[in-house]
Amino acid sequence: MRKMELIAPCHFGMEAVLKNEIIDLGYDITEVADGRVTFLGDEEALCRGNIFLRTAERILIKVGRFHAEDFEELFQGTKGLPWEEYIPSNGKFWVTKAASVKSKLFSPSDIQRIMKKAMVSRLQDKYHIQWFAEDGESFPVRVFLLKDEVTVGLDTTGESLHKRGYRKLTAKAPIAENLAAALIMLTPWNKDRILVDPFCGSGTIPIEAAMMAAGIAPGMNRDFTAQNWKHIVPARVWYDALDEAAEMVDLSVDTDLQGYDLDDKMVAIARENAKLAGVDKMIHFQQRDVSKLSHPKKYGFLITNPPYGERLEEKEDLPDLYRTIGERFRALDSWSLCMITSYEQAEKWIGRKADKNRKIYNGMMKTYYYQFMGPKPPRRSTGEEKAERM
């Protein structure tokens, strides 16, 4: 098996969650940086990372790292990397994304162009050909520049890992599946406890919770770019990882998961998405206004992505909305409230200071994950201990 470093990008602010996921899979962490975690692995780790990691954006093979302050150094550094170990003579290759932070080189299009030239030059020398048909499999490259240090990765995933394959229909402002999973994993929630999302939209948070409860690996029903790289990852390694995922599924698990939304069309969309995910029988979706929120049981969780009021006319309604959320939360004996929002006066109108407040970048938007924790239930669970480590 080939030993390699694998890079797993994630949402900014979710590095600790992803790190714990990777450790739980059995791999050693080599670096934690803003928005990504690097770990040691082999072909099996590449496959298992893509299939099992709930909070990662993608899995990259780290091709190399070097220092570059100008385009000549970028060219020579890129040319010095062992591209022939990965890309065959007919491979289609390009730099699909370049990100630069606090570096002298900052133009993505110029970085992409120079690196492509350097890759061509290296492969021309190695394969002794002047022209590449690029009619074979795809080998997309991603590059990060931070303080003039260039990290280069080969993208094994393709479409982002947040695209599990079940969400065919979405809400107006949907939360990404991997972010929803991370929000849940930052709490002590486990499959034995109640979870309600009073602003469920297309159902992402309850669906992700149901998949966790049933042991459904997030990537077991989708394809990955590296599945076509037979010279790097043999097909049997993918089959073994998928067999492992299939053996973990238990749809008979007893859960209490609920999703409410004021819009009946969104409730219908959420039900359809849950059906596509194979967890429709585990979740109760219902049209209900947040002002009607109630539940007879204790020690439950409200985990939600309420309206942010990004449009001016919506912002005027936010104080009343968040005041109502606070009132209904206080009426739920011993519950916890966890919500992600960009609304900076959320605590004021909820009527309580959050016990935890984590800054998270949802795309380019700065949001806050407020956690108002209720008392612990009588028996302590593994999920609670894990959440406290974060």
CA-to-CA dists, residue 235 to 7, 229, 238, 242, angstroms: 22, 9, 5, 11
Surface-to-core class of residue 93, CB atoms within 10 Å of its CB (0-12 exposed, 13-18 middle, 19+ buried): buried
The beta strand positions in 203-347, using DSSP E, are: 257-261, 283-287, 301-304, 336-341
Tokens of 50: 């893509």
Give the closest residue to 93 by CA, choosing from 142, 50, 21: 142
The predicted structure's pLDDT at residue 364? 81
Among 86, 95, 77, residue whose Cα is nearest residue 143: 95
Alpha carbons within 13 angstroms on the beta-carbon side of residue 167 total 22
Token representation of residue 345: 């006066």
Cα–Cα dist 295/22, whole Å: 35
Per-residue pLDDT of the chain (390 residues), as tens digits, is 789 999 999 999 999 999 999 999 999 999 999 999 999 999 999 999 999 999 999 999 999 999 999 999 999 999 999 999 999 999 999 999 999 999 999 999 999 999 999 999 999 999 999 999 999 999 999 999 999 999 999 999 999 999 999 987 776 668 999 999 999 999 999 999 999 999 999 999 999 999 999 999 999 999 999 999 999 999 999 999 999 999 999 999 999 999 999 999 999 999 999 999 999 999 999 999 999 999 999 999 999 999 987 665 578 889 999 999 999 999 998 999 999 999 999 999 999 999 999 999 887 889 999 999 999 988 665 555 556 556
Angle between helices 15-25 and 177-185 (to 10 degrees): 80
What's the angle, vertex CA 85, arms to CA 139 and CA 22, rounded to 5? 70
Work out whether strand 195-197 and strand 301-304 pair parallel, antiparallel, or are unpaired: parallel
| Per-residue tokens: 354 | 């959050």
User: pTM for the full model?
Assistant: 0.94
Contact predicate 67/92, CB 8 Å: no
Tell the residue number behind the tokens 């550094």, with chain if given: 77
